[in-house]
Structure formats: structure tokens, C-alpha cells
Amino acid sequence: MSDSIRAFIAIELNKDIQDSLAKIQSQLRAARADVKWVKPENIHLTLKFIGNIEIDLVIKIKEILQEISKIFQNVPADLNELGAFPKIKNPRVIWVGMQTGKDKVIAILEELEKRLAEIGIAKEEKEFHPHVTLGRLRSPHNRSDLVAMLEKNIKIPPLNFTIDKIVLFKSALAPQGPIYEPQAEVSLKAS
């Protein structure tokens, strides 16, 4: 048994939001582009990809998450913008971004980064853009059709939710796709 895990910290989305995002994926599939779509049950908002960590850090990370849960509670949020990294004309990652709650999510991450650095987990250098990944392009096959769909700006119904939980996940890579297993979770619900 390994004493390390591949880990990330994320905001878990409820099933209704995941189902709504799956409908958007379904619309985008019509382009027949070579995209590896995220399974609806795996759709989440990643705060921090950590990578491989020693298993004994899980307890320290859970303590950090508990400290953060005392600062941020019941954060209203929405998902409302379809986009792509690095840009729509040259998509590699297809995502849905947020407006409401964006500043709070960035503040949560900044607090998280500060506290994780204290236990030896390096800060992310890239600027953080809160988003939910829907899929990743594997090849240029039918990319132009996908770009045309993205440029039409598919209407996203209002996807409002409350950020009420942060989870530390273990990510195991498997042939059928990653398997996510919660290692620690904290509620952001006001007590």
C-alpha cells in the first residue's frame, strides 16, 4: 500500500448543477470534436491541484480546511459563462465560469494557498480563474465546428448554488478515467 496519494482540493457541486452541465456537454458533443468529456458525476470546481502528497498530510490539510470553514460560510455562486483555455479560437479546455461568488472563491483560494504554504505545499504561480472543466480536446479533429459552437455562445440557464462544502480528494488514474475519492471534507454551512 502506498503512503502517498495524488490529491486536489475542490468545491463539490450538487447533482442538479452537474446534470445541467451534462446537458451543455451534450449540446457541445454535436460538434463531433475529439473531446474527452468529464463524467457528470466528476464535475467540480478545483481550487487547488496539489499532486502527490504523503498520506500524513491529509490530517493537516483537513485542519486547514476546518480553519477556512470558520471564515467563509454559505457562499452564493453561479455558473454562467461558457469559455475555453487558452482561448475560444484555439480551445484545449472547455469550461463554464462564474460571476456571482467569483471574488469569494478567489479569497478562499488565497487563504488556502497561504495556509498550505506553511505546511510545505507550494503556491500556484498561475492566475486563478474559477471555472468548472467540461472537457479537454485530444486532437484537432472537428475543432473548427466546436469553435463555431463556442462562438455562438450557447445559452447557459442560470446555475445558481451555494458553496457549502470544500473537499480534499484523492485522484486515482484509471483507464476509464480518474476516480475521485473524498479524503476529508468540511462544511461551510453556518452553524
Q: Enumerate the domain spans of the chain.
A: 4-187
131: annotated active-site residue:
yes
Q: What is the pLDDT of residue 173?
A: 86
Q: What is the pLDDT of residue 176?
A: 82
Q: What is the pLDDT of residue 175?
A: 85
Strands 44-54 and 159-163: unpaired
Separation CA 11–CA 3 (nearest Å): 25
Task: Grade residue 75 by pLDDT with cuts at 50, 70 and 90.
Answer: very high
Strands 131-137 and 35-37: antiparallel
- pLDDT, tens digit, 9 for 90 and up, residues 160-176: 999 999 999 999 988 88
44: annotated active-site residue:
yes
The set of cell numbers assigned to 178 is: 480518474
Instruction: Please tell me whether residue 107 adopts helix, strand or coil conformation.
Output: helix
Query: Is residue 33 exposed (0-12), middle (13-18) or buried (19+ Cβ within 10 Å)?
Result: buried
Topology of domain 4-187 in CATH is Cyclic Phosphodiesterase; Chain: A, (3.90.1140)
Q: What is the pLDDT of residue 177?
A: 82
Catalytic residue among 44, 60, 143, 165: 44
Poorest-confidence range of 109-113, 127-131, 187-191? 187-191
Q: Indicate whether 1 pLDDT > 50.
A: no
pTM above 0.75, yes or no: yes
Instruction: Please tell me whether residue 96 adopts helix, strand or coil conformation.
Output: strand
Residues facing residue 17 across a β-bridge: none
Q: Which amino acid is at 127?
A: E
Q: Indicate whether 152 pLDDT > 90.
A: no
- Does the N-terminal peptide bond of residue 86 adopt cis geometry, omega within 30 degrees of 0? yes
- pLDDT, tens digit, 9 for 90 and up, residues 81-95: 899 999 999 999 999
Task: Grade residue 191 by pLDDT with cuts at 50, 70 and 90.
Answer: low
CA distances from residue 126 to 21, 48, 99 in whole angstroms, order as listed: 26, 11, 20
Mean pLDDT score of the chain: 93
Rounded mean pLDDT of 109-123? Answer: 96
Q: Which amino acid is at 84?
A: A
Cell 502506498 belongs to residue: 2
- pLDDT, tens digit, 9 for 90 and up, residues 16-41: 999 999 999 999 999 999 999 999 99
